[in-house]
């Protein structure tokens, strides 16, 4: 693989105010890669350009159950999302039961760390779109673009 091929990782996140991490893990029969609980949030957060009616929701602490793939050199974000789907496939009913019963949100995110303009393919297959729609997941991509001076070399060696 080319030396400056992007590093890509994907995450599946369940978030909520009343989120019981043990219940999620038991119901999905999957151990999370990471969790974040309400006590770990800072007391105050500043959010620029936020509408007043959204401010309370944005500033409120939430608990997160996260399943992540390890950063991998790849030229397609769909490859990393498909790794998540191999673990989550056939869990749609359980995810939706939890989501509806406890007022939870679901999210699939992709992080891309790349050098300059060496960007990956930003393509989602019908299978990925259908899965996200089935569990009512939001979707986002975080792009981190490096030059030689600001961290790409360090990222390559980790």
Per-residue pLDDT tens, the chain, 158 aa: give them. Answer: 567 889 999 999 999 987 899 999 999 999 999 998 765 545 555 555 555 545 445 545 678 999 999 999 999 999 999 999 999 999 999 999 999 999 999 999 999 998 877 788 989 999 999 999 999 999 999 998 887 655 555 655 55
At 66, phi and psi to the nearest 5?
-130, 135
Alpha carbons within 13 A on the beta-carbon side of 1:
10
Whole-number pLDDT of residue 14? 96
Q: What ranges do the domains of the chain cover?
A: 7-156
At 94, phi and psi to the nearest 5?
-65, -40
Whole-number pLDDT of residue 42? 52
C-alpha to C-alpha distance for 67 and 35, rounded to whole angstroms: 9
Alpha carbons within 13 A on the beta-carbon side of 87:
18
């Amino acid at each position: 693989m080319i030396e400056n091929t992007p590093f890509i990782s994907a995450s599946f996140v369940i978030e909520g105010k009343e989120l019981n991490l043990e219940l999620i893990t038991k119901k999905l029969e999957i151990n999370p890669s990471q969790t974040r609980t309400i006590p770990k949030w800072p007391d105050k957060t500043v959010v620029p350009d936020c509408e007043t009616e959204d401010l309370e929701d944005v500033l409120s602490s939430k608990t997160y159950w996260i399943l992540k793939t390890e950063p991998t050199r790849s030229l397609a974000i769909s490859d990393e999302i498909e790794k998540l789907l191999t673990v989550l496939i056939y869990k749609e009913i359980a995810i939706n039961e939890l989501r509806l019963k406890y007022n939870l949100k679901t999210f699939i995110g992709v992080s891309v760390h790349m050098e300059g303009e060496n960007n990956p393919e930003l393509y989602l297959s019908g299978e990925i779109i259908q899965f996200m729609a089935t569990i009512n997941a939001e979707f986002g991509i975080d792009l981190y673009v490096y030059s030689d001076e600001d961290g790409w070399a360090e990222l390559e060696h980790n």
